[in-house]
Amino acid sequence: MRIDLTPSEKERLLVSARQAGLSPAELMKRTALEHLPSSSETNKETVEAKLRRWQEQDGITLMPKISTQTLFAQWDKEDALMTEEDRNAEDRLWEDLENAFHRESGLRLRSSG
C-alpha cells in the first residue's frame, strides 16, 4: 500500500513518529488501525471475556439450573443492595455488551435524540 504525502505532511509525520519513538511506517499503521472497526473475532472474544467476568463475579454459570422465577427474585434482592456506583457500572457493562452485539451482528443502534 502506498500513501502519497505532501512535503509538509511528510515532515509532520516524521516529527510525530520521532516523538513517539516509532518509525513513520509503524506510526501510520497504528494510527490507521485505531480507526478501523475491530474484527468479528475480537468482538466475540470481548463478549466472552465479559461473560466470564460476570460469571466469576456472580459465582454462577451462564445457564443456572434454577427456575426463572427464582432467578428474578434473586436479582431483585441483589439490585436492592446495589449502590448508585454499582448501578452505573452495571449499566456500562450492559451498554458494552449491547454495542458488541450490534457490532457483531452488523445492526445499528438507534440514536435517542
**What are 45-94's pLDDT values in tens digits?**
777 788 778 877 877 666 556 777 887 888 899 989 999 999 999 999 98
- pTM score of the predicted model: 0.35
Question: What pLDDT, on a 0 to 100 scale, did the predictor assign at position 14?
Answer: 92
Exposed e or buried b per residue across 48-73, where buried means at least 16 C-beta atoms within 10 angstroms of its C-beta: eeeeeeeeeeeeeeeeeeeeeeeeee
Cβ count within 10 A of residue 47: 17
